[in-house]
Structure 1
């Protein structure tokens, strides 16, 4: 599907200098993301704001940062570092697994063994907190135990994916807004990133109950019908998958003690299929996730409200209008737990 290969911009030299002057180092990863070393996540003293701003800007442009740690950091260290970004405080809406250290409600503990964490989470491309008007600004992933035979996370840069779309698709998708199937929150399918200024696509493939289209030639709106919504979800899935081949997505495999922080407005993610395979096949995998309070609502355009009653009557006309925790099933048989 991509019109042309797209790549993130190189690291900003001024940001590299700011990190190096503090004693750290940042280098680009291929094809997206960046790796940070020399900054101690276990320190109770955060780096200066100028350093954090430099890192946050690079996260916005490259999608995510990987912090390499020589030893395992504590859950408290991980959560404290999560608050370096975006809204700068945790916003936790998930359940707490019994194996979570200290029963900490800010840790979402994931595993391919239900005795050690919550299984089967995030199989389709999505962004965390899409049920909120102000979606999480950032998310963190702390690998507690990487599976011996692989099982990482796929990350796709949504600004570069927008650039890869044909012009007619860019125009139409910019008139679409998705409705979250669990909450009725409305988000634009295309938004302008508040830091990078890039236009980014946005659609939760496991929790969408409707898509509203602004009519192109007159006032008013329509709903996508089932066939149109299936086509949209397939095209969205295809363009993000294409990034794995053309350079704006990556299948990231965690190494022991890795901490990954993502800009949740810049990259979509999904668990690699191997991450959900049984322990007997892949080995035990355990990960802690954090989520950071949003800075501002991801508000729709065209005067649409931030919230509609997805469980009530369809207010627009014919088309898909489906409430419930799991969204519209755009392909039979696919796992959709998120």
Structure 2
């Protein structure tokens, strides 16, 4: 797939200027927000450890900017307690934790809402999220937001890559936009059905959305017909490769960022606006890279991420295919679109 031109990307990049009114609301509360380039924004002066949440107007301004820029990183000079991180996670979206992950023995106080990740299995679960994805694709409503609290950044680096899915959609050709707009993915674990192109609930911007490590089928609505078909193995391989390529293009074309954590950083992402994956260095052994520990939180969705062309919210991916021919693969990582890449979730 050809990468978008710089002219195309300049027209579609996520660098929406901050609304002065939103900035004023944040600053009146004592905060300061500055854009990261090319995506994300940095926040200082808002205390995540405060027992009382900021006023609703402040949270609305921050959540709007997060939807436009993809994620916010709250900078801190002191460590953040796990309980404070989880409480601040509930400032966004569904405003309630929705935790479906396994729990590592080293999780503080055995808190089921903390997903503890590390490059040393004695300290956390290793190898998670190496391919582009959005959290909670096994839920019909997905997660609205996720939080990433760096407990210990590795001395030699190993962060998280973020790609703006609205800008990536805009960088597609008109032909691919139309084709992808007729597609819906089926989660390989739960059978949840999600559109490959959706309209963001806050920005109203069209965004692409596909889990490269947990897709068991993709259904196409045939153009100008009330009929559906499954993508073949060849077609699904091409789709996944194109999706991977268009997000990777953002690193050079201005809509993706390899974010390196600093001590005490706390990142919150809009899970419908940015895809993410672990940077390769995040999974290198602690003996080589230095020990890395991160806590993740996930927030309940606000609405089903549902196709708008007649498909159900969920299907039985573990049962027989309802359509003739094509990929229908339940369990584990689903369809493997490249032979030798890691696909752990």
**Length-normalised TM-score, structure 1:** 0.99
In the alignment, which residue of structure 1 is the partner of 2:260? 253
CA distance in 1, matches of 2:274, 2:4: 17
Does 2:125 correspond to 1:123? no
SS at match of 2:26: helix
Shift of 1:45: 1.1
Aligned equivalent of 1:7: 13
Once residues 226 and 124 of structure 2 are traced to their aligned partners in structure 1, the CA distance between those partners, rounded to angstroms, is 49
> In structure 1, how many angstroms separate the alpha carbons of the residues matched to 2:265 and 2:322?
47
Task: Within 5 Å, give how 1:58-69 maps onto structure 2.
Answer: 58-69=65-76
User: 4+ runs of 1 displaced by more than 6 Å?
Assistant: none
Give CA deviations for 1:9-36 in whole Å, capped at 9, x if unaligned: 1111111000001111111111000000
Q: Aligned match of 1:282 in 280, 289, 300?
A: 289
1:308 is displaced (CA, Å) by 0.5
Aligned to 2:105: 98
Query: Corresponding residue for 2:27?
Result: 20
Structure 1 counterpart SS, 2:238: helix
Q: 306, 310, 313: which one pairs with 2:320? A: 313
Q: What is the 5 A alignment of 1:1-338? A: 1-3=3-5, 4-5=8-9, 6-8=12-14, 9-338=16-345
Which deviates the most, 327-336 or 215-224?
215-224
5+ residue gaps, structure 2, are: none
* CA deviation profile, 1:197-244 (whole Å, cap 9, x unmatched): 100000000000000000013220010000000000000000000001
Distance 1:267 1:234 in 2: 18
Count of aligned positions? 338
Task: Tell me the CA shift for residue 261 of structure 1.
Answer: 0.1
Pairwise CA RMSD? 0.6
**Separation in 2 of the partners of 1:273 and 1:327?**
22
Cα deviation, residue 7, structure 1: 1.8
* SS class of match (1:162): helix
Q: Normalising by the residue count of structure 2, what TM-score does the alignment of the two structures yield?
A: 0.97
Aligned to 1:137, the other structure's residue is in SS state strand
1-structure distance, mates of 2:91, 2:209: 24
The one-character-per-residue Cα deviations of 1:249-299 (angstroms, maximum 9, x if unpaired) are 000000000000000000000000110000111000000000000000001
Unaligned runs of 5+ in 1: none
1 CA distance for matches of 2:123 and 2:211? Answer: 27
